[in-house]
Structure 1
């Protein structure tokens, strides 16, 4: 989820008023465009969950029983949350260091934003996923993880960047060592352990149940690394040097991934094995745990994010402008697409009835419908997102900047 936080937007507004604007406009475009790209990929995954939920995908995926088209569609969605959260940290740094102006504290903004996101997860987002009113189950998903990570960053942002880099790296690289430790439900530390490192029920015997699907600790590490990467996008570094740094970081992540994953050394608790054919062998190699995100999962996705940022550093074309429009209104987009999917599904279910057990959905040989529906929804979402993004640039209302 998932960041969909437009923290760079205040910085973008400042850029438009300073002499350095031209030199830095491509940087802002690249960050917004990458955010917009992962948001559209997220749409693909959420359409899959709407029309294909009767055939759920496990985590990590069952390579032997997951069709390749489903596997690689889900694999694409793996890039969303890590890039989202990394860009949240990066955007927070840009907010705190407006070019040409004195640095400002980000604590209040991050704290309010993080608590708002958690509040939305507990209410509007949970309802959008289930359609139940009153709610029967609250799922703490990507929005919870982003909100929690932002609250932590709010209090950590005043600390030394070197310390934050060290803590972020220790979390990202070290949490896999704890992945195999499961605490029983009756253990005194079960709740905090589940919140930080494992999926599970937090509240089961109540009118409203609570289940956590996004353990928060690894995402704290990712947002801290995004924050300490912020200076790469500061005025002191020109676009060519920034691109070289991003390429080096991206290729470095992938090189380390090839070593760790290639020899099944560390970073993923599900080792890869040779499959029945080349496709299934590749699927096994790329089959990483997302909940919580394994080290190999983060090396693959964040490495790709750095390389995409490098590739579009100087891009200013129709594609990047469309992507930037989505990336400039992320919270609005997130809520809009969830409710569009909810309403659309209710209409389909009412018109055609359940055709997959108790649900309406597509059969395994019709997975192409998921891709088609995703493509059709992009222009439907674009116009309201563009209108809201334009409104954000014009208005002085304080609440708008949180969306």
Structure 2
């Protein structure tokens, strides 16, 4: 998974939100470490070739994108405490455009190392940016209307799965862009193309519901009542996942089936669709995330303080971790004996990633822990810097 958080800064911080965000940021780095370093050849979600630990390594990172986008909506609501609607709308518009530019310029380059940008990659930062632009328009509507739109997109977008939609032409492109993208590869000309991994509107629905729930995190809202609302919401989504998934009623294009072993049956049950995000994927991830969010309210210890540190500088962490992984990738490339002639791999979007390059899953976990440890120090510095400085541009980082 290639995923991130792009949340506007607030004058006050909700510690439990930073803790949850920090936790999934750490988990997110595991998925990207696997992308850069794991030996090719085994798809973690292919039941014919996967193993329980490989599937779990991929599955646990499913929580990242959904919770990041949801918390982005929460934090947009919190940022409205110190801005008028007009100010917030303008900020979201500029913030969204900035995030789209970062996705295409900095994140795409970190992945491809192609200075000519022959391939543009539409990932989670892009979809957060577009969703913020849409929210810049929607915040003028009454909150119940925003909630209704969010509910419709969140719970209803899977209805499109069974429809006979156009695949080509302008209409086909728009359907992919807004609803159905699943690694959609689209050629712009003979030398440039784009790949859409994140369809816009299902993720916008996630942000809108996060924005609505952000009401309970306003400074004047009763803490006990907030915990109960968040906990109830999390339990409801989790139970909905278990119910609908158990009976294959609705909410995912790939029903689960009993397999030859118990382990594979469990994998099949939890192997839900992320591209585009099915209702089952969203319930499976956001539900437990909200339960955790309620549980860590007012919890403070060394571990939660560490998580909150990472969670307080999400955008800085996200961009930095990609480039740190790239540096380590290139170092290992030469350590393993590859040369200049091996930098480009045919039919691969990534340089310094030959087919036989990489380490086993244990090595991936070791590199992941190294990355998390290294990132602690720049994140600690930047977190302190943000707390002691008030420059306008810090709202964009």
Give the structure-2-normalised TM-score.
0.91
> What residue is the counterpart of 1:5 in the other structure?
6
Q: Is the CA contact 2:6–2:99 (under 8 Å) kept in the aligned structure 1?
A: no
Q: Is the CA contact 2:4–2:318 (under 8 Å) kept in the aligned structure 1?
A: no
Superimposed CA distance per residue, residues 222-249 of structure 1 (whole angstroms, 9 cap, x where no aligned partner): 0000011011112343222211111111
Q: Is the CA contact 1:44–1:374 (under 8 Å) kept in the aligned structure 2?
A: yes
Q: Does 1:55 align with 2:52?
A: no
2: distance between equivalents of 1:56 and 1:210?
25
Superimposed CA distance per residue, residues 177-205 of structure 1 (whole angstroms, 9 cap, x where no aligned partner): 11244645533312211111223123253
SS of the residue corresponding to residue 97 of structure 1 reads helix
> In structure 2, which of residues 263, 286, 300 is the aligned counterpart of residue 302 of structure 1?
286
2: distance between equivalents of 1:360 and 1:188?
39
* 1:2/1:165 CA distance change after superposition, 3 Å: farther
Q: Does 1:214 align with 2:198?
A: yes
* 1:8/1:233 CA distance change after superposition, 3 Å: farther
Q: Is the CA contact 2:150–2:205 (under 8 Å) kept in the aligned structure 1?
A: yes
Q: Is the CA contact 1:3–1:35 (under 8 Å) kept in the aligned structure 2?
A: no
SS of the residue corresponding to residue 201 of structure 1 reads strand
What does 1:341-380 align with in structure 2 at a 5 Å threshold?
341-353=325-337, 358-362=355-359, 366-380=360-374
SS of the residue corresponding to residue 250 of structure 2 reads coil
- Measured after TM superposition, the shift of residue 351 of structure 1 is 2.1
SS of the residue corresponding to residue 225 of structure 2 reads helix
> What residue is the counterpart of 1:73 in the other structure?
57
* 1:147/1:57 CA distance change after superposition, 3 Å: farther
**Aligned length in residues:** 381
2: distance between equivalents of 1:103 and 1:143?
23
> In structure 1, which of residues 231, 235, 240 is the aligned counterpart of residue 219 of structure 2?
235
2: distance between equivalents of 1:144 and 1:56?
28
Superimposed CA distance per residue, residues 314-341 of structure 1 (whole angstroms, 9 cap, x where no aligned partner): 1111111111111111111111100011
Q: Is the CA contact 1:6–1:327 (under 8 Å) kept in the aligned structure 2?
A: no
> What residue is the counterpart of 2:345 in the other structure?
none
SS of the residue corresponding to residue 202 of structure 1 reads strand
SS of the residue corresponding to residue 179 of structure 1 reads helix
> In structure 2, which of residues 362, 366, 384 is the aligned counterpart of residue 390 of structure 1?
384
Superimposed CA distance per residue, residues 62-117 of structure 1 (whole angstroms, 9 cap, x where no aligned partner): 2232111111111110000110001000000001024xx98874211111111111
What does 1:4-403 align with in structure 2 at a 5 Å threshold?
4-12=5-13, 28-52=14-38, 54-55=40-41, 57=43, 61-98=45-82, 105-181=87-163, 183-197=165-179, 198-199=181-182, 200-353=184-337, 358-362=355-359, 366-403=360-397
> What residue is the counterpart of 2:347 in the other structure?
none
SS of the residue corresponding to residue 60 of structure 2 reads helix
- Measured after TM superposition, the shift of residue 383 of structure 1 is 0.4
1: distance between equivalents of 2:3 and 2:304?
20
- Measured after TM superposition, the shift of residue 375 of structure 1 is 1.3
Q: Is the CA contact 1:97–1:104 (under 8 Å) kept in the aligned structure 2?
A: no
* Runs (5+) with no aligned partner, structure 2: 343-352
Q: Is the CA contact 2:248–2:255 (under 8 Å) kept in the aligned structure 1?
A: yes
* Runs (5+) with no aligned partner, structure 1: 13-27
1: distance between equivalents of 2:188 and 2:93?
29
- Measured after TM superposition, the shift of residue 395 of structure 1 is 1.8
Q: Is the CA contact 2:30–2:368 (under 8 Å) kept in the aligned structure 1?
A: yes
2: distance between equivalents of 1:66 and 1:206?
36
- Measured after TM superposition, the shift of residue 373 of structure 1 is 1.3
- Measured after TM superposition, the shift of residue 8 of structure 1 is 4.5
Q: Is the CA contact 1:2–1:146 (under 8 Å) kept in the aligned structure 2?
A: no
Superimposed CA distance per residue, residues 237-283 of structure 1 (whole angstroms, 9 cap, x where no aligned partner): 32222111111111111111111111100001111111222221111
Two-structure CA RMSD over aligned residues (Å): 2.0
Superimposed CA distance per residue, residues 125-148 of structure 1 (whole angstroms, 9 cap, x where no aligned partner): 000011122222111111111111
2: distance between equivalents of 1:215 and 1:102?
30
Give the structure-1-normalised TM-score.
0.90
